[in-house]
Structure 1
Amino acid sequence: MIHRIKGLSRNSGADHGFLPPAFGLRARRATKDEGLPQLSPGQRTYLAGALLIGMLAFAGVAAAQAPVTDGQTFAILVGVSEFQHLPREQWLQYAHADAETFARLLKSPRGGGLPAENVVLMTNKDATTQAVRKAFDTVKGRAGKKDTIIVMIAGHGAVESAGDRAAYILTNDSDPQDMKKTALPMGEIQTFIGEGLTKVARIMVFVDVCRAGNIGSISNAAVNGVVEKLGDSEGEILGFMASRPREVSYEGPEYGGGHGAFSYFLLKALSGEADKNGDKIITASEVIDYVQQNVKDATRDRQHPREFGTLDNATVMADANKPGIDLSR
């Protein structure tokens, strides 16, 4: 089921809604009867549904929406590369850098000029399950009717191999052997977004979440079910996920010195590269088209980001007339 952004009319493939962003080259697909492939350095295995929760995650682009609302913008940015209960070979390399750079962009004039107190950035050891929950509660308590909330999550996602097959985000202190008690349920994020949409003007979610080798087993139905339900919520929402179900997503130094491919092209889009008509105003449709096409090309058609929601395609995401950031840092 593809949810298209309101007002957009694209002639993309019948099985997906946008031009896919490219992140990887030699990804192996796991069948539902086998464990997830072991991650080699530079590979991120992404669940399309888990991606939505995030981070973004990268919904951060909403920060530049001053022309749309006179309210404030709040951002929750989570990037986890290191995990207390995972062997180092299953750690990521650049998820923390994705969140950190997104925070810098949002604070820049081009990205919306968010004040530091409106940006909650959590990476690695600071990104515990309790800390992420506290951030959601804090932002929910501060945001009002005219405000925008941006959620960006980059890291690992997993699905229980038994029981109710629930989907989770792995935080720094999550134990994959006891996810119910230690990880962040995607259903919890769904509740936050659903309740938030009744209290704020809009929510943008950018999710770049990967599945670690041998952590649970693939269950796209569980993940996609959470994602698609969000599209039925009241209020304006944009969900942008790094990949389709069963695809993998990649990270590496070739992406701006060290990023996930999806995150890198999203950052480039918001920095002005997506300005297709040359008016220096970056809109939602320009961002999505740019990210999907460039990720698709960069990964040789192996990764295809997806979007859903009701956000108007003309929503302003960034103003390239204003100073931005150096993505090579």
Structure 2
Amino acid sequence: MENDQFIFYYAGHGFFDSGYNKITTWDTHPYNLKDTTVSLNHVLMEPLRKSNCNKSLIFIDACASKIDEQLLSRDFIVDMNPSEFIEFVRSSNYRAMFLSCSRGEKSYGSSILGHGIWTHFLLKALKGEASEAIEQERFITSASLQNYLSKAVPDFIKLNTNIRGNQRPWAEVSI
């Protein structure tokens, strides 16, 4: 229906292959990624484009790390391609996509937090526990959420971990 809202969250491994961004599933095998992963375009974005639902919010906490480490040839795995996401988001007036990291970066987890770092701060914001993500003491907007995640995630990594890599959350919003 036109007034329906669709919210999708995924945490796991993701990469770009054969022209599409793909995510792993419960039975993904590192030596047969082509047949044991799913295309986000085929299972998520294209069905949403074809539906009457024009309000969607997508959260993806994924990177190609750990998959490429298991393979004999790393040339097969590359990071997700943001152009596919940008095209999808811009195809409607009310779509937003939030990713845990920018292209070429890893999405880090934390045993202290018990989650991926980005997921931890995303959940904190959505629960209303992060005043920095709330505008007018009442609303979380796409800009306030992205600004909060863009500061909270790198700050946590810098101050509370030994990680030396960057993790800069990325978002595309069409509203």
| TM-score normalised by structure 2 residue count | 0.79
* Structure 1 alignment gaps of length 5 or more: 1-143, 312-329
Question: Which residue of the partner structure matches residue 8 of structure 2?
Answer: 151
Asked if structure 2 preserves the Cα contact closer than 8 Å seen for 1:193 and 1:230, the reply is no
Q: 1:218 to 1:246 in 2, by over 3 A?
A: farther
* d(CA) in 2 for partners of 1:193, 1:310: 15
Which of 240, 253, 258 is matched with 2:98 structurally? 240
Question: Which residue of the partner structure matches residue 146 of structure 2?
Answer: 288
Which of 54, 65, 82 is matched with 1:224 structurally? 82
Q: 1:274 to 1:283 in 2, by over 3 A?
A: farther
Question: Which residue of the partner structure matches residue 107 of structure 2?
Answer: 249
1:275 aligns with 2:128: no
Residue by residue over 1:108-154, the C-alpha shift from the partner in whole angstroms, topping out at 9 and shown as x without a partner, is xxxxxxxxxxxxxxxxxxxxxxxxxxxxxxxxxxxx21111001110
Q: 1:156 to 1:146 in 2, by over 3 A?
A: same
TM-fit CA distance, 1:284: 2.9
TM-fit CA distance, 1:287: 1.9
- For the residue of structure 2 that corresponds to 1:282, the secondary structure is coil
TM-fit CA distance, 1:166: 4.3
Question: Which residue of the partner structure matches residue 169 of structure 1?
Answer: 23
* d(CA) in 1 for partners of 2:19, 2:54: 33
TM-fit CA distance, 1:261: 0.5
Asked if structure 2 preserves the Cα contact closer than 8 Å seen for 1:274 and 1:286, the reply is no
* d(CA) in 2 for partners of 1:246, 1:238: 21
Question: Which residue of the partner structure matches residue 307 of structure 1?
Answer: 171
Percent identity for Structure 1 against Structure 2: 25
Question: Which residue of the partner structure matches residue 41 of structure 1?
Answer: none
Asked if structure 1 preserves the Cα contact closer than 8 Å seen for 2:22 and 2:37, the reply is yes
Structure 1 vs Structure 2 CA RMSD: 2.3
* Structure 1 segment 195-206 matched on structure 2, within 5 A: 195-196=50-51, 199-206=52-59
Asked if structure 1 preserves the Cα contact closer than 8 Å seen for 2:60 and 2:98, the reply is yes
The one-letter code sitting in structure 2 at the alignment partner of 1:192 is: P
Q: 1:203 to 1:284 in 2, by over 3 A?
A: same
Question: Which residue of the partner structure matches residue 193 of structure 1?
Answer: 48
Asked if structure 2 preserves the Cα contact closer than 8 Å seen for 1:296 and 1:303, the reply is yes
- For the residue of structure 2 that corresponds to 1:281, the secondary structure is coil
Question: Which residue of the partner structure matches residue 179 of structure 1?
Answer: 33
* Structure 1 segment 1-329 matched on structure 2, within 5 A: 144-160=1-17, 164=18, 166-188=20-42, 189-196=44-51, 199-211=52-64, 212=67, 213-215=69-71, 217-220=76-79, 223-255=81-113, 258-276=114-132, 277=135, 279-300=137-158, 302-311=166-175
The one-letter code sitting in structure 2 at the alignment partner of 1:307 is: A
* Structure 2 alignment gaps of length 5 or more: 159-164
Count of aligned pairs between the two proteins: 160
The one-letter code sitting in structure 1 at the alignment partner of 2:88 is: L
- For the residue of structure 1 that corresponds to 2:128, the secondary structure is helix
* d(CA) in 1 for partners of 2:19, 2:94: 29
TM-fit CA distance, 1:205: 0.4
The one-letter code sitting in structure 2 at the alignment partner of 1:194 is: R
| TM-score normalised by structure 1 residue count | 0.44
* d(CA) in 1 for partners of 2:54, 2:20: 29
Q: 1:174 to 1:218 in 2, by over 3 A?
A: closer
TM-fit CA distance, 1:183: 1.4
* d(CA) in 1 for partners of 2:54, 2:39: 25
Structure having the higher Rg:
1
TM-fit CA distance, 1:165: 5.6
Question: Which residue of the partner structure matches residue 35 of structure 1?
Answer: none
Higher helix share: 2
